[in-house]
Amino acid sequence: MIYLILFSLILKAAAGGNGLAMTPQMGWNTWNSFGCDIDEDLILSSAQAIKDKNLTSFGYECKYRYVQRTTSDNTTGAPVADPVRFPNGLKHVADQIHSLGLKANLPGFIAGIYSDAGTFTCEGHFGSLGFEEIDAATYASWGMDYLKYDNCYNEGREGTPLISEERYANMSRALDATGRPILFSLCNWGVDGPWNWAPTIAHSWRISGDIMDNYDRFDDRCPCTSVIDCKLPGNNCAMTRIIDFAAPLSEKAGPGRWNDADMLEVGNGGMTFDEYGTMWAVIKSPLILGNDVRNMTAETLEIITNKAIIAVNQDPLGSTGIRVWKKTIPSGGDLQLWYGSLVNSTWVIAVMNTSPEDQSTNITFSEGATERTQTYELFDLWDKDDAGDWGKSLGTFSGSLPETTVKSHQTKVFRAVPVSAQTKKDVSEL
């Protein structure tokens, strides 16, 4: 089923530039587990692992050290691959990635690259500011399908939405001018409210400083508690903080334009199963793996291949979940209720408990929304049915859900399916 989800996305992607990211992009990125230490072998062996393990997450996007301008091309200013790490060049790497596609008439795997809307990348390699056209043209000539575009060394060219937008719009125009559909993943950490201007120039935009592999360790490196007018996005942002940031931004996202909550940390070891199994699907963040896909535990594989959860993220309506309420728990943390509208009159209902103790709650389905009086069947998407498929039925309800107990640091994600609409057994297809 993951195949179908991904393939349908790829088909749309292949249809032309404006049809990219009709559902949030899925993929893999080297940064969270490898930082700068990447080379051709890592990229190609990981792509092979994605294929062999049936993840088929289309392609990958690579950051840092992927590209360096060398002194050899001073005349044109075109980017040149690091000759030691990528001795065969980057077109070769992209060609190898594309050749992993499972069907001849589909791209199958897409290849991605990283640069920066500044003089240098965050790691001090050459950025693209002032070189947008030649860089975009070079990426296209290498066969790249995805650009992640960062915000370091921007020469102070931020502070108003217009100034920020100009830098990113230049690259967006340059990508369009190549004629190659290239997914534009804008990464300015939420500075100057990209959700207000990025939807017309990019397919996704980061809403926070960099994620940290931690659930709720808040520290001064990620100082903002609200995303609105956050002046210092920082880094090492705890996962639950990023979810708070996403809450007011739901309506900004939709097909072709997504709030990016940053790459997944699943498999990197800092959190428990329950902590990893949280809200990225409901808030419709891109799902970009950040672990070593060549060497995953069974638990990691379980989490990232939960097809009922992926179906929520990749739902064709592209409607982002909204937070209905957030209740402070006296001992710390909070309990949150989220709803999202899904295809075929079904709903996702998520209850997230960031407190140190288990919490029980009674949820009236009409809370925060119009009356829903139908009878629904309720499926727990982080539990398996008797056949071993994700999405265990909890029976039917009307008006109020059965009392829900959410463990400390757990997020219960349910799908409510109108009983009259049920034609299929597999909840990921409803």
Ligand X SMILES: *[C@@H]1O[C@H](CO)[C@@H](O)[C@H](O)[C@H]1NC(C)=O
Residues taking part in catalysis: 150, 210
Of 332 and 402, the one with the shorter C-beta distance to ligand X is 402
C-alpha to C-alpha distances, 36 to 63, 111, 310, nearest whole angstrom: 8, 18, 29
What is the rounded distance in angstroms from the CA atom of residue 23 to the CA atom of residue 316? 7
Of 74 and 105, the one with the shorter C-beta distance to ligand X is 74
Classify the phi-psi angles of 376: left when phi > 0, otherwise alpha if psi is within -120 to 50, otherwise beta.
beta
Please tell me whether residue 403 binds ligand X under the rule CB under 6 A.
yes
Of 295 and 328, the one with the shorter C-beta distance to ligand X is 295
Q: Show the tokens assigned to 149.
A: 């575009």
Report 285-314 residues binding ligand X (CB under 6 A). Answer: 295
Of 141 and 344, the one with the shorter C-beta distance to ligand X is 344
DSSP string, 94-111: HHHHHHT-SSTTS--S--
φ/ψ of residue 26, rounded to 5? -125, 145
Among 96, 268, 361, 393, binds ligand X (CB under 6 A): 361
Q: How far is the CB of 127 from ligand X (least distance, A)?
A: 12
Report 94-133 residues binding ligand X (CB under 6 A). Answer: 132-133
Q: How far is the CB of 12 from ligand X (least distance, A)?
A: 14
Please tell me whether residue 330 binds ligand X under the rule CB under 6 A.
no
Of 184 and 245, the one with the shorter C-beta distance to ligand X is 184
Q: How far is the CB of 149 from ligand X (least distance, A)?
A: 13
C-alpha to C-alpha distances, 145 to 62, 151, 182, 222, 253, nearest whole angstrom: 11, 20, 4, 31, 22
Q: How far is the CB of 221 from ligand X (least distance, A)?
A: 26
What is the rounded distance in angstroms from the CA atom of residue 311 to the CA atom of residue 422? 16
Of 143 and 391, the one with the shorter C-beta distance to ligand X is 391
Q: How far is the CB of 237 from ligand X (least distance, A)?
A: 25
Locate tokens 């040149």: which residue?
80
User: In 3D, which of 32, 51, 40 has the Cα closest to residue 94?
Assistant: 40
The β-bridge relationship of strands 112-116 and 146-150 is parallel
Residue burial 266-295, b: 16+ Cβ < 10 Å; e: rest: bbbeebeebbbbbbbbbbbbbbbbbbbbee
Among 115, 154, 170, 240, binds ligand X (CB under 6 A): 170
In angstroms, what is the C-alpha Rg of the chain?
A: 21
Please tell me whether residue 389 binds ligand X under the rule CB under 6 A.
no
Helix axes 132-142, 89-99, angle to 10 degrees: 50
User: In 3D, which of 65, 79, 168 has the Cα closest to residue 123?
Assistant: 65
Q: How far is the CB of 75 from ligand X (least distance, A)?
A: 8
DSSP annotation of 118 reads S
Among 360, 375, 398, 420, binds ligand X (CB under 6 A): 360
Please tell me whether residue 178 binds ligand X under the rule CB under 6 A.
no
Report 131-160 residues binding ligand X (CB under 6 A). Answer: 132-133
Residue 251: alpha-carbon gap to chain centroid: 17
Collapsing DSSP to helix, strand or coil, 430 comes out as: coil
Of 71 and 370, the one with the shorter C-beta distance to ligand X is 71
Report 49-88 residues binding ligand X (CB under 6 A). Answer: 53-54, 71-72, 74
Q: How far is the CB of 185 from ligand X (least distance, A)?
A: 19
Q: Which residues contact 350 (CB under 8 A, 6 or more apart)?
A: 279, 282, 321, 336, 337, 338, 339, 340, 411, 412, 413, 414
Please tell me whether residue 18 binds ligand X under the rule CB under 6 A.
no
Please tell me whether residue 371 binds ligand X under the rule CB under 6 A.
no
Q: How many residues lie near ligand X (CB under 6 A)?
A: 20
Locate tokens 């592999």: which residue?
213
Q: Which residues contact 57 (CB under 8 A, 6 or more apart)?
A: 6, 26, 27, 28, 50, 287, 289
Could you tell me which stretch among 61-69, 163-171, 180-188, 193-201 binds ligand X (CB under 6 A)? 163-171
Could you tell me which stretch among 79-87, 319-327, 360-368, 371-379 binds ligand X (CB under 6 A)? 360-368
Q: How far is the CB of 421 from ligand X (least distance, A)?
A: 7
Of 370 and 423, the one with the shorter C-beta distance to ligand X is 423
Q: Binding residues for ligand X, per CB under 6 A?
A: 53-54, 71-72, 74, 132-133, 166-167, 170, 295, 316, 343-344, 360-362, 403, 423, 429
